[in-house]
Chains A and B, each alone.
Chain A
């Protein structure tokens, strides 16, 4: 039982920290989640991390529920609930506390400056997430081509990104990948 509570405590601490570092959204902390779960704690393999990320992307709902899936893989239903709670509770508490006064800062210089300063950091982190997921997912020519095709569809067309996910899953089903 000691081992169990250890893992839940580790999940709680890790994801609560990720919650507070998630500038610009949940996908910004994918590099840190990957570092912790794959490299530091060996909770999950690189390949499975990328597959769970993809399943979460394909499902409806906010991006953040990737942590639910990850928590479930690591420690079952309690793990899923712990990671989801840890990822949301700290920032939700802050959001709740500032909700009623935040409007006042709408035009405050410091808010505009902080927001402007966070944008490049967010961009760097999302790009890092992309690199990490791509490196885990692209293991041969076929998967590499899928990544390029799905990038091209999302970047240059207005077709829903779900089409890329569906087409890739279909190709996998008929054995091309």
Chain B
């Protein structure tokens, strides 16, 4: 186990993901761990967060990781960002949350600002037009694949209320281009009511 550089005592209460005997990451370790996830996580950070948090650092067991992720999916917002905040908080309180969050977002935000500067300066160069059109077309294909994979995971072998909700949401947001707030104000309560009904 690597020695922490500065002997910062961890906060008094280690929370559920840290059973006695397991190493509780310090803010510095959190920052570095989540920065690694961000920098390595090409094409989605989920796989890398599991790899770093569960396999490399042993901060969580695979089951704990899945449970925590499922909890994060109930909250709005970017899942892995919420994950970093919650995990950081449990390990080391507010400094832990901030360290994990800045580790996760710092490197990609800097990279995106650099990319933005280049795009604004060179984005309209004829030599780059084809590259950017190609990238955009490929990214669209990837997103279509993601949505079909999600649909496939939901399609069991019968039509459920969920399918209707998905289609209505798609039509309202994607085709009719209605303001999302209105769409969600209608669709989410109905969908949760259906889910509650089906569960009974």
Take A123-B150, A146-B138 as given contacts and tell me if A65 and B132 are in contact as well, using a CB distance cutoff of 8 Å.
no
Chain A residues with Cβ below 8 Å from B154 are: 119-120, 123
Chain B residues with CB below 8 A from A64, complex form = 78, 81, 105
List the A side residues contacting B139 at CB < 8 Å: 50, 53-54, 57-58, 133, 137, 150, 165
Task: Determine if B113 and A68 form an interchain contact, defined as CB atoms under 8 angstroms apart.
Answer: yes
Count chain B residues whose beta carbon lies closer than 8 angstroms to a beta carbon of A. 98
Cβ–Cβ contact B112 & A155, under 8 A: no
Q: A68-B112, A99-B89 are in contact. Are A146 and B192 (CB under 8 A)?
A: no
Interface residues of B in 151-200 (CB under 8 A from A): 151, 154, 161-163, 165-170, 173-175, 177, 179-181, 184, 187-188, 191-196, 198-199
The answer to whether A11 has its CB under 8 Å from any CB of chain B is: no
Closest residue of chain A to B94 (Cβ to Cβ) is A96
Q: Are B191 and A57 in contact (CB under 8 A)?
A: no
Q: A69-B112, A172-B133 are in contact. Are A147 and B140 (CB under 8 A)?
A: yes
Answer yes or no: A162 CB below 8 A from chain B CBs.
yes
B contact set with A: CB distance below 8 Å: 15-16, 38-45, 67, 70-83, 85-86, 89-90, 94, 97, 101, 104-105, 107-109, 111-113, 115-117, 119-120, 123, 127, 129-151, 154, 161-163, 165-170, 173-175, 177, 179-181, 184, 187-188, 191-196, 198-199
Q: Sorted from nearest, which 5 A-B pairs have the closest CB atoms? A: A91-B77, A61-B108, A124-B169, A128-B174, A150-B141
